[in-house]
Structure 1
Amino acid sequence: MPSKSLRILIADEQHFNRMKIERLFNQLDYFRVAPVQSFEELLNLVEYGCAPFDLLVINAGLAHGKLDLLDFCLDNEQLAHALIFDGQCAQLPVIAACERHKVQVSHALLPDLATVQRLMAIVDRPRPLVGTVISVR
């Protein structure tokens, strides 16, 4: 069952792309989605936000070479996970979705439903209950 508290940030210049990606998350019952259209908006939300984002889904071309997007996602404590799509345009290597990687890079022009499902299986894993004692006899 999806966690209703996950915060998802979608960053793409194209309104149609942002809406299409947001609908993929909505199909999977994730509704706390914030779409932004510029890198400046992204920086404002990430740097000045009160709580970290659980996932950033970003078009690799959005940074326009202003910074190393891969390093930005890896080093930013306000981002728990990231998916960089259209990574070929920024000459980024493909990094497949797995639990060891905080950042995934896809060369696909847009993420599809299967990609989002695989990603959310990592991002929205069940967390163990804190303070629960289980006795085994």
Structure 2
Amino acid sequence: MENIDSRQALEALVNALEAHYECASHAADQDKLEAAEIELRDAFFTYDDLLFTEFDTELPFEMLEDVDEDVDYVLLDEDGDETTVIFGYVDEDDDDDYEVEELDDEDFDDEYDDDDDYDDEDDDED
């Protein structure tokens, strides 16, 4: 790989964004789209690294590691009280003192499928 500066990396990132857009907007086959995604990811990280190396500046984006989108999480505060349900995302770099508890589908259904919470009286009046 040749040595490039952050300006060249920025141009490569813009080109990768345009190539990805073209593939996505014209229903390119899956292989072409995946290749464009890899090129975009590589260009992004190259630009990010060079920007930091040359100017000690970071992009204003948090990079997430692979996330299992099919897993539901509940954040617990210090007292063990549920505070938030998050679908497929846990910020492991968060400085808050939360404990993460993985839920299975049954726990989620029990918590959020309670039909007793709805008032059906308006339906009976018609």
- Which structure is richer in relative contact order (CA contacts within 8 A, separation 6 or more)? 1
Which structure shows the higher helix fraction?
2
TM-score scaled by structure 1?
0.24
Q: Give TM-score, length-normalised by structure 2.
A: 0.26
